[in-house]
């Protein structure tokens, strides 16, 4: 891999990049050089790591993790960047997630942790990142008699055509990253909470 493309991937010094991470870094560098629309935005951006997730039916997704401080910059170009990366990695779904830290629970009640670093909030933020640019308009939790909890996430029905084919992938990626199951539905009118 070219040294210039290696700048698009920042890992700790102890870890060597995988072949997938090298391919993603090279693709990001190629987009920066060749795409006039993405070049100004991509010059200062990089990713931390990339993982490949099996979705099922021989489908795969590539999950890109980037530093949290770049979230606004990535969101500005995410639609176009995902489309371009999906062309380069044909047949693979591309998902971009900000790298977040989960803080341990303090042993004493005197100390508190930041809410943004609590386990629940980090998992909710991961789900929001996976779904971006589609907005989540509602959530329901169902507590079963065996003690398990099922989460259902509702998306605006106007986004159904764009997102419906990717929902299985979103659910699988969320399960791999957090260990929690989630199912998706569509809401026609969020104010009246009418479902499809």
Which has more confidence, 165 or 109? Answer: 165
Q: How many CA atoms lie within 13 A of 130 on its CB side?
A: 26
Average pLDDT over residues 149-163: 87
The fold for domain 1-99 equals: Alpha-Beta Plaits (3.30.70)
Strand locations in the chain (E): 49-56, 59-67, 92-99, 136-143, 149-156, 182-189, 194-195
Closest CA to 38 of 3, 5, 85, 71: 85
Which has more confidence, 171 or 102? Answer: 171
Q: How big is the chain, counted in residues?
A: 196
pLDDT tens track for 29-68: 888 888 888 877 778 888 888 889 898 888 899 999 988 8
Share of the chain above pLDDT 90, in %: 2
Average pLDDT over residues 7-34: 81
pLDDT tens track for 66-111: 888 888 988 888 888 888 888 888 888 999 998 888 778 777 777 7
pLDDT of 97 reads 92
pLDDT of 191 reads 67
Q: Give yes or no for residue 4 having a pLDDT over 70.
A: no
d(CA 96, CA 15): 21
């Amino acid at each position: 891999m070219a040294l210039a493309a290696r700048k698009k991937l920042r890992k700790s010094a102890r870890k060597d990049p995988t072949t997938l991470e090298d391919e993603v870094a090279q693709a990001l560098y190629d987009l920066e050089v060749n795409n006039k629309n993405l070049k100004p935005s991509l010059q200062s951006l990089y990713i931390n790591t990339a993982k490949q997730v099996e979705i099922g039916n021989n489908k795969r997704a590539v999950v890109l993790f980037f530093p949290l401080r770049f979230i606004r910059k990535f969101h500005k170009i995410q639609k176009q960047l995902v489309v371009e990366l999906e062309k380069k990695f044909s047949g693979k779904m591309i998902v971009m997630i900000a790298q977040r830290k989960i803080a341990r629970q303090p042993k004493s009640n005197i100390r508190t942790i930041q809410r943004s670093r609590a386990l629940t909030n980090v998992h909710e933020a991961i789900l929001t990142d996976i779904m971006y640019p589609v907005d989540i308009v509602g959530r329901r939790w169902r507590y079963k008699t065996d003690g398990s909890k099922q989460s259902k996430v509702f998306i605006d029905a106007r986004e159904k055509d764009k997102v419906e084919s990717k929902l299985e992938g979103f659910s699988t990626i969320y399960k791999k990253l957090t260990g929690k199951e989630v199912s998706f539905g569509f809401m026609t009118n969020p104010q009246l909470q009418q479902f499809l």
